Amino acid sequence: MPIATPKQYAAMLDAAQKGDYAYAAINVTSIITINGALKAFADKKCDGIIQVSTGGGEFASGLNVKDAAFGAIVLAEAAHRLAEKHNVLVALHTDHCQPKKVDSFMRPLIAETARRRAAGLPNLFQSHMLDASELPLAENMKLSRELLIECAKNEIILEVEAGVVGGEEDGVDHSGAPREKLYTTPEDMLSVYESLHGLGRYMFAATFGNVHGHYKPGAVKLRPDILKQGQDAVTKKHGAKAEFDLVFHGGSGTPVEEIRETLAYGVVKMNIDTDTQYAFTRPVADHMFKNYAGVLKIDGEVGDKKAYDPRAYLKLGEKGVAERLGSACDDLLATGKTLFGKV
């Protein structure tokens, strides 16, 4: 099955909203991590979202190129081909594009989808994220409106953010953000709805104390009730159809009971990156320690080609990613709920 069409992606989000479950959205940087994601979704009979950050795109483009948009295109094209072999629906998304990177990252990718559509080909990406949380809300919404209009012309969903996700990811460090910025207010959520309603479909990353990275239990104070308060404020004023499709950033390390509480408040997508990075690296490290004399040519020896062949350990990383992502599908109550063949 090819990557989900815009119609299928919309149906995925609608089904998650109606059924109180959410899709795991994993950041990928290579064919290996794409395959790990596809294995997890297929094994769990679960639809999902594969996403590329600016740093992930730059990495994928190679050391001599370092072009985030180009690398994202390469990864997306690979995902389109690889997804054809799996009987689940998968959407492609880009993650955390700051305002200064819009013209070098997001807009070239929108243009690539427009070019493909003109040639009768499917969208390259089904959604993009604008992270303009560094701007005052009015400026954030001004840029969000502009990009939502551009995206809607090509049946692309835009994800926006108001409030700040703490911690550090992909070189963007909000670890010192004021505490109040970590919690989106009902007034801010109303402003987001009233700024964007009617321009096109969007998702909203409202913040409720969530943090990028990994942390020990109790170190982060999540307040999922903030999502409910914001949803209630918006639907009370504008009706039930105003309910947001919410996104949970910083899902790694979150207790399952807190994850599931957010599902009842409209979360349809949860990002997972840190945990899957570790799940990739841990078995690779194990391989290196267990095969130390084989992966290195020690004291003039020749080593063991079977041990230092990258395939020997990278397939272990792929398996680790698939297992951890599969657990996320379970936590999000999405396992077994693929819409493949139904829409």
Compute how many other C-beta atoms are within 10 angstroms of the C-beta atom of residue 155: 18
**Half-sphere exposure (CA, 13 Å, Cβ side) for 143?**
24
Q: Longest C-alpha distance within the chain, in Å?
A: 75
Q: For residue 99, what are its two tokens?
A: 């305002």
> Which domain range does residue 39 map to?
6-331
Q: Is residue 154 part of a domain?
A: yes
Q: Is residue 341 part of a domain?
A: no
Q: Is residue 196 part of a domain?
A: yes
* Closest to 56 in 3D by CA, of 27, 80, 81: 27
Contact 322, 36 (CB under 8 A): yes
Q: For residue 186, what are its two tokens?
A: 């009902």
Distance CA 57, CA 30 (A): 9
**CATH number where 243 lies:** 3.20.20.70
Q: Can 95 be counted among the known catalytic residues?
A: yes
The crossing angle, in degrees rounded to 10, of helices 31-43 and 310-331 is 40
Burial code (b: 16+ CB inside 10 Å, e: under 16) for 326-335 equals bbbbebbbbb
Q: Is residue 12 part of a domain?
A: yes
Do strands 48-53 and 23-27 pair parallel, antiparallel, or not at all (unpaired)? parallel
37 pLDDT exceeds 50? yes
Residue of 47, 67, 95, 273 marked active site: 95
Q: What is the pLDDT of residue 253?
A: 79
Q: What is the pLDDT of residue 136?
A: 94
Q: Is residue 1 part of a domain?
A: no
Domain count, the chain: 1
Write phi, then psi, for 127 (nearest 5 degrees). Answer: -155, 160
Q: Is residue 314 part of a domain?
A: yes
171 pLDDT exceeds 60? no
Q: Is residue 102 part of a domain?
A: yes
- The residues pairing with 27 across neighbouring beta strands, listed in sequence order, are 51
49-58, pLDDT tens digit by residue?
999 999 999 9
Name the more confident of 218 and 280.
280
What integer best gives the mean pLDDT of the chain? Answer: 93
Q: Is residue 337 part of a domain?
A: no
Distance CA 164, CA 273 (A): 17
Contact 295, 307 (CB under 8 A): yes
Answer yes or no: pTM beyond 0.85. Answer: yes
